[in-house]
Structure 1
């Protein structure tokens, strides 16, 4: 499959300050895209912009709390005002709190619902009218293997990721007649400190997820890579 160039493409990537989001920003900029990197940490975004200096494309810091509707709307308006278009939205921002359902605090539950679902809804809500008007574009949601299978201690997190899978499926049906692509990636464990735990040495690298997102975004016009489930190869326990 011959991939398209990302030159002159305008992308918004949330959760951009670290992990897979950061890796996606760098790869997309390396491939020529202009990337608005959205996250709450301005310091980490500034470091990301500096690291991207000299790449074929560009990374622009876009501090934003994706759970704040007014802030998200303002950011989308800024992008379209500055660039006249928006081509790719990657809903990557997410977090997890783990423990038995009865042990989760209300604040932990609300935070997962707000970031993992409401944030995706808000970014999608304000980007979609521009994509429909353009009659082209691509929304890529970063879900999880936890959006396909459950596990004890993952009640809140799995609930959000299963919800994101349904959201993606409905969005696909709503936007296909407008020539807007919708995709979802479901990674297993990644080498980040997600959930406050140390990464496993066999886990996926953030760059692995970035490569799949790039292949989705750069696929030929007539091809939609709808869903990719990716897991690390877990080494056998030595006896």
Structure 2
């Protein structure tokens, strides 16, 4: 689903991504970990066509990012660090707004909105203003808005930050279902190592703009030593969160 080779990105004299190579198979969860300032958000911004890059190649679902950005936008969905929910609108109105922007049409849009409200357990709150929603409900609505366009690839940038443990677990179950049932590919950035351990088929560790390790959770743990955890891997290879 994603193929990145020799990717370079700088802002002025500061190199943010330095020769990144990674491959993300379809219908899998790929987690990108790293300390604050490692380049994770810049990576997501490049993959979503929001920011250009200096050198290298990015191919998503067979489309080259430089030559076919519009084609890539048609197959991706994004849930960023900060909610895109309009708190003055109801949950249904937020979803319908995205459906209209996607040109789904009145009947198809209404069906899609109702289906997502049901799927994300928001039926009872559908016609209440979003500012009355809990943090977990807002995050579920945010992800439902991403799914309006039926994307093949969803980029989740720290999707559970600030959620209580129960809401985090609910989001994990939703992510697993999207992959197992819908065949969606998930590109996940997170500060929670247990989240990557629970969800990711493959993990890449980014530090100072360079990939310092890539593999399954088990492979990364084994690279550090017996009975190690992802925390051990993280601190051994990056020196901890800065």
Tell me, yes or no, whether TM beats 0.5: no
TM-score (norm 1): 0.33
Task: Give the structure with the larger helix fraction.
Answer: 1
TM-score (norm 2): 0.33
Task: Give the structure with the larger strand fraction.
Answer: 2
Q: Max radius of gyration: which structure?
A: 2
